[in-house]
Structure 1
Amino acid sequence: MTTFTRLDRSVVGKWWWTVDRWTLLAVGILVFMGGIMVLAASPSVANRIGLENFHFVKRQFLYLPMAITIILGISLLSPLWVRRFAVILFGGCVVLTIATLLIGPEVKGARRWLQFGSFTLQPTEFLKPSFAVVAAWMFAEQRKSDELPGNLISMALFALVVGLLLMQPDVGMTLVVSAVWFAQFFLAGLPIFWVVLFIAVGIVGAAGAYALFPHVASRVDRFLDPSGGGNYQIERAMEAFQTGGFLGVGPGDGSVKTVLPDAHTDFIFAVVGEEFGVIVCLMVVAVFAFIVLRGFSRLLEEKNFFVVLAAAGLLTQFGLQAIINIGVNLRLMPTKGMTLPFISYGGSSMLALAVLMGMLLALSRRRAGAGDI
């Protein structure tokens, strides 16, 4: 068995003693639980739509080794190389997102995917974490010197990303990207005038989305008036939590996965609630909270401003995605097609989250100085 001492100067040895191993362990727990839950929830869905029972299971377990490799590989990078990687990824994702608008298949009125044989890619999933790092770089450069208009460049890139997302359209992801970007801008020292202005723009934008996109209006209306109908998945999810109680009905014994179309993706938390109960649900929430809070606690000692902004953006994105998914399952907010990180089935989502977590682990590693080393 290989062991690493603090005197080990190899790449892997230095990584082992500088990476946040508690966060790495927490991510491992999520990945393990995700594998179990996809195994429990997806066969019923596959059977219902005419696929082989373990179709989704096989695909998920194909993605898992890739995701783990991505997390570990990216976590070896220095902040400088994280930044370079994010810039390249961002540029590639912008091109691919434009391609989805031109040649991507239309699914339920939206163009968000590219088809490569049997693999479906959603470029915007990778656009989210890469944009957070690029925006952080621009904000940090503005603070260093006024020679580079980092804030203006960040605003322009934000407008580009939002424009592409709304053209698909994907209003939910637009709100997530906007919230993360605003949080980073606020941490970068956004003047109070701009804070008020952006909040006003956000309110107007939300109202505009309600007025311009019928599917957004429908989801909001169904959330505000559940008695109006059209809440089949939400109602079944709530029944699942009630049936599961504190301890659940037992692994594999739940019934909600046989009737929920998205039991293996958007509503997998309801499957957890029915089969494992409220206690396990609270444990899942606790793991997400631990990753986010521990990440921010490590940033309190960070001297590199770019690292602070980039990691804060990635943590906000990770936590917000978990909150939205769980909130939708518990009928605390309108429905939004967003996966539960590392637990829901999904290739693009799984790999994009692996990129996010790899960059976060790389940025949060203990380093000797404040520079990009």
Structure 2
Amino acid sequence: MKTIFQHIKGDKTIWAIVAALAIFSFMPVYSASTNLVYVVGNGSTLGHLAKHAALLIFGFLIIYGVHKIPYRYFSGGSVLMLPVVFVLLIFTLSQGTTIGGANASRWIRIGGIGFQTSTLAGLVLMVYVARYLAKNKEKEIKFKESLLQLWLPVSLLLILILPANFSTTAIIFFMILVVAFIGGYPLKYIGIIVGAGILALAFFVLIAKAFPDAMPNRVQTWQNRIENFSQEGGKDAYQVEKAKIAIVTGGTIGVGPGKSVQKNFLPQSSSDFIYAIIVEEYGLVGAILLVGVYFLLLFRIFIVLKKTTTIFGTLLVIGVGCPIVFQAAINMAVATNIFPVTGQTLPLISSGGTSIWMTCFALGMILSVSASKEETEEDILDDNPLDILHETLD
């Protein structure tokens, strides 16, 4: 055990939280996977559990590998990754995958595993925004220059994510605005960007309505989710109703691990609605404890922020760390019918490879910052992306 602790750096409490969430996830994923096996007819419960275990093991390898990288390399790395992510998003959209008649081109297949490119794009964008704000912290930001250097790359990637994944686009855009505000980007310019974003969304909706064959039923799906949020009937209303039954059934202490009934009726019980299954099996006590663990993670992220010596490190931790807790809050809010259905998973607990891996990559970055010695802003921001590429190839 001492040997293990000698090789891991950074905030040990974050390591413990991640390990606790990962270990806890096995029981609800195993329990909820019966829906996929007996209702959908997909594989076996042990097969789903083994797949989840493999994804988590690889996720921990990602955390370990990333946290060993000095975080200054992430600055230049984000510049190198922007064109890569741009190409991946175009390729993903070109797949034309449909689910239930709706455009859901979110995944590409890599080695037989579905990879959601929008999550990678969000991570790269957060680092890129942190880099830009840190480089211009001591300068007067000129709006026209920031449009080209900052908002053009951001808008291009968000436009490519939007057609298939509105909720992810909204979360990324919101977190970018938060990081921009904290990073000292002028508030009046942020207002202009928000207005432009609203106009762009309205324009997209109008185009989608005018040319429905281009994006089959996608805008209609968003509209139905908003309408079903306050009305009865429809697929989303059915999911929320089953989630409510699961939560009520759980009571104070739950029906017990593996004894959920609603997992057999609730679609996406092992991913989007896994929190409802957790409440049913572990009750209000388990639900509150899980919320407490995510709040503890947020608290430790702020501890890392307090100890960080550079502006880039601070903005990086905010940009990649807060979305993890924010996503968890959205998942829980959907299960408890506070938010409309969004399709966001519960970080480190829901089944699914991309979500787990990108969460682990973000955690690795945070741990890299917390493990760093005294860094200077010049050391970080003077890194040339091409130099980083040469070092990697060597």
| Matched AA of 2:232 | S
1:253/1:275 contact within 8 Å kept: yes
Could you say which residue in structure 1 is the equivalent of 2:60? 68
- Cα offset for 1:146? 6.7
Unaligned runs of 5+ in 2: 209-218, 381-394
Cα distance, 1:333–1:208 mapped onto 2, change above 3 Å: farther
Alignment of 1:45 with 2:36, yes or no, is yes
For residues 154-165 of structure 1, the aligned pairs below 5 Å read 154-165=150-161
Partners of 1:105 and 1:318 in 2: how far apart?
27
Aligned positions of 1:247-262 closer than 5 A:
247-262=253-268
> Structure 1 length as normaliser, TM-score?
0.89
Give the length in aligned residue pairs: 362
Cα gap change, 1:139 to 1:68, in 2 (>3 Å)? same
Q: 3-state SS of the aligned residue for 1:121?
A: strand
Residue 272 in 1 paired to residue 272 in 2? Answer: no
Tell me the equivalent position of 2:24: 33
1:97 to 89, 92, 104: 89
Q: Does 1:135 align with 2:129?
A: yes
Q: Give the Å deviation of 1:316.
A: 2.2
Please state how far the C-alpha of 1:143 moved relative to its aligned partner.
2.1
Percent of aligned positions that are identical: 26
* Structure 2 residue identity aligned to 1:129: L
Task: Indicate how the Cα distance of structure 1 residues 219 and 308 shifts in structure 2: closer, same or farther if over 3 A, else same.
Answer: same
8 Å CA contact 1:237–1:330 kept in 2: the answer is: yes
Distance (whole Å) between structure 2 residues aligned to residue 222 and residue 88 of structure 1: 42
- Offset of 1:119 from its aligned partner? 1.5
CA RMSD of aligned residues (A): 2.4
Higher mean displacement: 50-59 or 274-283: 50-59
Checking the alignment, whether the CA contact within 8 Å between 1:269 and 1:326 is kept in structure 2 is yes
User: Is the alpha carbon distance of 1:333 and 1:101 closer, same or farther for their aligned partners in structure 2, counting shifts above 3 Å?
Assistant: same
| Amino acid aligned to 1:157 | P
Contact in 2 for aligned 1:77/1:362 (Cα 8 Å): yes
- Residue 341 of structure 1 is aligned with which of 339, 343, 347? 347
Over residues 122-145 of structure 1, what are the superposed CA-to-partner deviations in whole Å (9 max), with x where a residue is unaligned?
111211112111111111112255
Q: Deviations over 1:237-258 (max 9, x none)?
A: 0110100011000111110110
Contact 1:41–1:271 at 8 Å: present in 2 too? yes
Q: Which residue is 2:15 aligned to?
A: 24
- Secondary structure, counterpart of 2:257 in structure 1: coil
Partner of 1:8: none
Q: TM-score, normalised by structure 2?
A: 0.85
What is the CA–CA distance in structure 1 between the aligned matches of 2:222 and 2:3, rounded to whole Å?
54
Partner of 1:352: 358
Structure 1 residue 183 corresponds to structure 2 residue 178? yes
Query: Relative to structure 1, is the Cα distance of residues 316 and 204 closer, same or farther in structure 2, using a 3 angstrom cutoff?
Result: farther
What residue identity is the alignment partner of 2:120? F
User: 8 Å contact 1:138–1:151 — kept in the other structure?
Assistant: no
Q: Which residue of 2 aligns with 1:174?
A: 169
The one-letter code matched in structure 2 to 1:194 is Y
Q: How does 1:112-131 map to 2 (within 5 A)?
A: 112-131=106-125
Evaluate the alpha carbon distance shift between residue 359 and residue 164 of structure 1 in structure 2; reply closer, same or farther with a 3 A threshold.
same
For residues 307-341 of structure 1, the C-alpha deviation after alignment (integer angstroms, 9 at most, x for no partner) is 11111111221121111111100100110011100
**Residues 1:306 and 2:297 aligned together:** no
